[in-house]
Amino acid sequence: MLFGLHSATLACQRTTKAVSYILNEEGILVDIYIDDFYRAETQELADLSFDRMTQLFLELGLQSSPDKDTPPTHEMTCLGVCVNTLNMTLTVPDF
Amino acid sequence: MRAAPQYNFQQAKRTLTTTFNLERWNFYLKDYNDVVVTAFLQYGWPISHSADQLPRSTLQNHPSARQHPSLVCDYIAQELKYKAVIGSFQCNSFSTDCVISPLQSVAKRDSSVLHVVHNLNFRPGQSVNDGIVRDEYLSEPFHLCLPGIDRLVEFINCKGPGCLVFKKDLKCADNFISIPSCCLVYIQLL
């Protein structure tokens, strides 16, 4: 389905929301913006959660895009906002 | 006036070719409140076009696409590779009229690299998208709610300072949502 269709975003979000439901049921609280899954986790559990997401995508037959992944880190840009969990700040990157 | 369509997920129920492991989706989502998602994955997501009249075709691509024929060829070749489009056809292969919308090329923000876009908003008032009602899907109310950064902030506050954040992207998200064959007539390109 072309993303230019008004109904495409709805179809994609409903599909990926179902995937986030599966993860949430397993105690891995994620949120999803169309095709972008994101989460925060303690240092002890972060790798485990990240790997479970990878494994679930494979299991469901979803193709991920590893080159666009952000593995567990203290700083990442998400939805256009730079998040830093060490100094607990949100900043808007320069354009 | 067109008759209300009967979609694949309602009647014929022909399973589409898909890379999804539908058995696993059904297993995990058996108690999910929007479980119809699995039927749409199996039988196709209707585009939910509800206007009485077919949109008007445009039999020429926009100048921005015509000026870059090799870009358009590459785009179509790539879409064929991903099985996101079928064809090419020398004439209308459908049993009903079909709708052709123009291609255009646009640069993404902060980039000079051009991308081809299928302009389903053209012509205004008579386009494919004009026949797709916002906040409903297949005549039922459905408000699409996209999250903001607030939810991630909530997660971070819950886990505390120094926690780790991460994200995963899906590849070609627009290509994994298949549509049933009855909707193909709406999204033809030249």
Question: What confidence score (pLDDT) does residue B88 get?
Answer: 87
What is the pLDDT averaged over residues A23-36?
A: 95
Judge whether residue B4 has pLDDT over 60: yes
CA dist., res. A58 & res. B123, Å (int): 40
pLDDT in tens, B178-188: 888 888 888 88
What is the pLDDT averaged over residues A37-66?
A: 95
Nearest chain B Cα to A79, which residue? B149
In a domain, A1, yes or no: no
What is the pLDDT averaged over residues A13-36?
A: 96
Mutate to test the interface with B, among A15, A28, A37 (most CBs of B within 10 A): A15
Average of per-residue pLDDT values in chain B: 90
DSSP string, B108-131: PTT---EEEEE-TTPSTTSSTGGG
Nearest chain B Cα to A34, which residue? B146
Give B132's DSSP letter: B
CA dist., res. B149 & res. B175, Å (int): 26
* From B18, B148, B163, residue closest to A40, measured CB to CB: B163
Buried b (16+ CB within 10 A) or exposed e, B147-184: bebebbeebbeebeeebbbbbbbbbebbbbbbbbebbb
Q: Tokens standing for A72?
A: 């567990």
In a domain, A34, yes or no: yes
**By the CB < 8 Å criterion, does B5 face chain A?**
no
Judge whether residue A33 has pLDDT over 90: yes
pTM confidence score: 0.90
Q: Tokens standing for B9?
A: 């997920």
How many domains, in total, are found in chain A? 1
Angle at A42 between CA A39 and CA A48, to 5 degrees: 75
Instruction: List the domain range (segments joined by +) for residue A44.
Output: 6-91
Give the three-state DSSP class for B72: helix
Q: Do A78 and B34 touch (CB under 8 A)?
A: no
Which residue carries 């358009």 as its tokens?
Answer: B72
Angle at A23 between CA A87 and CA A10, to 5 degrees: 95
CA distance A20 to chain B (A): 11
Q: Tokens standing for B78?
A: 């790539």
Q: Do B174 and A2 touch (CB under 8 A)?
A: yes
**By the CB < 8 Å criterion, does B68 face chain A?**
no
ipTM: 0.95
